[in-house]
């Protein structure tokens, strides 16, 4: 027997986009049900990077989710480029008029969002399997799924597909409705989680003839580091000793700096790809986050683009329910896509100047160095990099909403 229920917005996927959308809709008095195939433990336990743009931090703070973020997150006012044995610091704070980034792991953002959802009594269904979307052309789409051996049916007004690149939402659109722009990069990152104090107060992006390396901080006692590798490499070929040797070689510098080693507690290989779906909507189905676009991690834009998407989608849905107008919903893709393509450009540029590229010759290698020297020596070039790295201001549709006031009214503030 199928259990049937109704909500205003069905949200597929409990990643940053889905959980934040649920929270923002709650602040506007809109009911949602969020379906996630993974367990809560799996969602909260997936270790992911967490470089938050200024606009992301501002929005999370305004909507009542900033207490732990400000207490535990590390504010970075600059980043370091290392090449030719020299370190060049980009003072983002100075170049952007006081803006910065905050390092706060994605899983911590998700934990804060889940806590907020459960504290507010919002419906989050973990381990929802066999999720399928139906009647997308109608005024009342449906979502069917299986949960705890029960078959369920969810009737709704709208569906938000926030279920990532491999989710069911985008493939549920009719053939030919969207155009996919894709590029599979032959670049991989071997990421390691290390029990150690920080080697640097700010991120280090290193370009070296042996390949790219990145030093990033997670907490005062846990660090995240990356080395470029073959995207199809076997982790068994990367014992701890080899990882430390590669990091030491690629991060070598004439400066007074030391790489602090520690116990490696986790390893994984990330394969890079670029992807955009246009448009990000069909009928009453709207895509957000990785379901609609993916960028290489070099520019640290993935989570931030998901936040920007739902900061547009939530006010658009609220405008529909409060006034009956559908203009913002109609224009959702048109509002989001320019920002997405700008992030694609920036991420592609960061990737191209810092990595050992497939088939790269001596000319291309020297061009990389020339690009990096230009950033190090030109205030204009450094400013352009800083502005893109700390992030564009959120769309006007998000900035026009008094999130702080709404969060205070609903008591949606969590420590």
Catalytic residues: 76, 205, 297, 301, 389
Rounded Cα distance, 19 and 106, in Å: 12
| Cβ pair 305, 295 in contact under 8 A | yes
Rounded Cα distance, 253 and 246, in Å: 14
Rounded Cα distance, 48 and 311, in Å: 21
Strand pairing category for 150-155 and 2-6: parallel
Rounded Cα distance, 157 and 326, in Å: 13
Give ∠ CA 361-366-369 in degrees, rounded to 5.
Answer: 130
Rounded Cα distance, 202 and 90, in Å: 10
Structure tokens at 101: 């980034």
Cα–Cα nearest to 285, from 134, 99, 76: 134
Longest dimension (CA), the chain: 70
Determine if residue 171 is left, alpha or beta; phi over 0 gives left, psi from -120 to 50 gives alpha, anything else beta.
alpha
Contacts of 284 (CB under 8 A, 6+ apart): 136, 138, 139, 141, 157, 158, 159
Cα–Cα nearest to 80, from 382, 381, 387, 301: 382
Rounded Cα distance, 220 and 201, in Å: 10
């Amino acid at each position: 027997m199928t259990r049937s229920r109704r909500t205003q917005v069905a949200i597929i996927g409990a990643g940053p986009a889905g959980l934040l959308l649920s929270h923002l809709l709650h602040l506007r008095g809109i009911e949602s049900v969020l379906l996630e195939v993974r367990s809560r433990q799996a969602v909260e336990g997936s270790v992911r990077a967490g470089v938050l743009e200024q606009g992301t931090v501002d929005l999370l703070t305004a909507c009542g989710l900033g207490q732990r973020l400000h207490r535990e997150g590390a504010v970075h006012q600059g980043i370091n480029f290392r090449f030719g044995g020299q370190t060049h610091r980009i003072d983002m704070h100075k170049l952007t008029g006081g803006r910065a980034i905050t390092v706060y792991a994605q899983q911590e953002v998700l934990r804060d969002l889940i806590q907020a959802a459960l504290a507010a009594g919002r419906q989050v269904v973990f381990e929802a399997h066999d999720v399928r979307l139906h009647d997308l052309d109608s005024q009342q789409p449906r979502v069917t799924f299986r949960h705890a051996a029960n078959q369920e049916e969810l009737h709704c007004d709208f569906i938000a597909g926030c279920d990532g690149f491999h989710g069911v939402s985008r493939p549920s659109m009719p053939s030919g409705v969207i155009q996919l722009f894709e590029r599979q990069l032959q670049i991989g990152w071997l990421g390691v989680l290390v029990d150690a104090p920080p080697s640097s107060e700010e991120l280090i992006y290193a370009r070296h003839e042996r390949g790219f390396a990145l030093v990033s901080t997670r907490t005062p006692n846990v660090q995240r580091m990356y080395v470029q590798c073959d995207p199809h490499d076997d982790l068994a070929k990367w014992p701890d000793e080899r990882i430390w040797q590669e990091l030491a070689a690629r991060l070598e510098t004439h400066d007074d700096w030391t790489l602090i080693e520690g116990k490696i507690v986790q390893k994984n290989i990330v394969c890079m790809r670029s992807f955009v779906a246009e448009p990000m909507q069909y009928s009453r189905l709207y895509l957000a986050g990785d379901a609609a676009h993916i960028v290489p991690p070099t520019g640290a834009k993935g989570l931030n683009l998901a936040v920007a998407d739902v900061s547009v989608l939530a006010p658009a849905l609220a405008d529909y329910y409060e006034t009956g107008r559908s203009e913002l919903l109609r224009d959702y893709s048109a509002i989001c896509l320019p920002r997405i393509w700008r992030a694609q450009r920036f991420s592609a540029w960061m990737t191209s100047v810092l990595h050992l590229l497939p088939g790269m010759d001596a000319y291309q290698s020297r061009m990389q160095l020339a690009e990096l020297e230009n950033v190090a020596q030109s205030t204009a070039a450094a400013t352009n990099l800083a502005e893109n790295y700390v992030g564009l201001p959120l769309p006007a549709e998000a900035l026009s909403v008094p999130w702080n006031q709404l969060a205070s009214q609903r008591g949606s503030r969590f420590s």
